[in-house]
Structure 1
């Protein structure tokens, strides 16, 4: 069973966007989650450069998440925000340029990295800041529950980008190792038997499981992503091995409690 501190997140469902909440679809059969429910884009005649840039990004996310890159046209974006396609070229140079803007500014962002890391960390009495990987993974699920439209965007583009001719092919093919490089830069507290090779395998397994669950979640609006992740987490990080290494709430702040010897970097 996952650590008790995680149970409170299951009680906070009312704070998630409506598209992330669980619907009882037993009476009418499984339905796909409407990840773009409630997305509206204010059409203003006069906007600052920054406001128009954000509006274009929002419209691109909505359109790409439903039509994909191949199905999207720049006319779709112009229609969404109420300007001409010719006017749109004042802000972007091409369809590929718009896709690159979305990928670089909307999904893997510093805000996302900070959200995932900040509550997965603790500083011991010797000033060592360490991170708990199972909680970090839980935070990814919690963060994505707050942005279902971007989860759908990621899922659609990730499938499309399997083709080497897709302009986002290199982005998605290289994403796993780029994120691993970031993971390697953090000071993780891990059970004794987890060396760097095994940690990489756990990282690969956890992220693959997360992607798979999110695909199912998008396709079934009666599925609770958080509950499913907690169940999977207990298998990936069995309590018999990971007790004390799962969540910062398990840290005992005794005066002589130094966590540095339990970190991967100290063992290498």
Structure 2
């Protein structure tokens, strides 16, 4: 049974956190049509950098890194390829910048954690992993082009010659290091090893579901994820550990319920 606090996300998009609202349902996942930018006579270096990054994201999401050329980007933003080299040194450098600046960003990390956390009466800040996963879905709903870019690159980067190969091979463990450092409250039956398994299951399920969502416009990403959550975090085990709304704090100290406390 889906957590009551999550039902409002399904029933009323206006209840989504502002960072995740999207209003143009008919075009939100049309990531390949039309030109994103119109030519401007003058731009600051910062504006031009952002314009190049957005154009590259759009093109890679459609064609992949191997299929993209710098001429594609120059055509997209209305400059010559020679002029593009005033702002970037190489195609590889551009890819590294996109991965560093636009996907696993600090803003995304802060958003995913913010409403998955609560501070108890003793001042301990603890996190609810099932809600954290819901927040990832809500965040990604607003950026389908970035999800498509990630999905495209993730497949391409299986090739060891791909410049993003090491980024994707190491990404899961890098993210786990961050996740593992957070103060999660968990059912009694969970230790660090079991949490790692459920974390891996959740992220793998999310990647697979997002592939379906990108390919099939009839897939409701949030609705499907909440159904997945019912299976991965069943109420009989996870009740009180899925969302901050499930627990009245009063004078309770939540630290003894955390994974770190048991270790």
Alpha-carbon shift at residue 38 of structure 1 (Å) = 7.5
Contact 1:187/1:264, CA 8 A, preserved across alignment: yes
Matched, 1:43 2:65: no
Residue aligned with 1:18, SS: coil
Q: Could you tell me how far 1:43 is from its partner in structure 2?
A: 2.4
Match of 2:17 in 1: none
Report SS of the residue matched to 1:188.
coil
Of 246, 249, 252, the match for 1:250 = 246
Confirm or deny: 8 A CA contact 1:17 1:146 kept in the other structure. no
| Partner in structure 2 of residue 237 of structure 1 | 233
TM-score, structure 1 normalization = 0.92
Question: Does residue 220 of structure 2 align to residue 214 of structure 1?
Answer: no
Pairing 1:132–2:134 present: no
Partner of 1:149: 145
- Could you tell me which runs of 5 or more consecutive residues in structure 2 were left unpaired when the two chains were aligned: 15-20
Map residues 1-268 of structure 1 onto 2, 5 A cutoff.
1-13=1-13, 15-19=21-25, 33-36=29-32, 40-255=36-251, 257-268=252-263
Greater RCO between the two (CA within 8 Å, min separation 6)?
1
**Is contact 1:141–1:225 with CA below 8 Å preserved after alignment?**
yes
Shift in Å at residue 37 of structure 1? 6.2
Structure 2 vs 1, CA of residues 4 and 181 (structure 1 numbering), >3 Å: closer, same or farther?
Answer: same
What is the number of equivalent residue pairs in this alignment? 257
Would the alpha carbon gap of residues 119 and 160 (structure 1) be closer, same or farther in structure 2, given more than 3 Å must change?
same
CA RMSD in angstroms comes to 1.6
- What TM-score do you get using the length of structure 2 for normalisation? 0.94
SS in 2 for 1:43: coil
Contact 1:35/1:149 (8 A) holds in 2: yes
Q: Which is worse superposed, 246-255 or 74-83?
A: 246-255
Instruction: Report the Cα distance in structure 2 between the residues aligned to 1:21 and 1:246, rounded to whole angstroms.
Output: 33
* Consecutive unaligned residues in structure 1, runs of 5 or more: 23-32
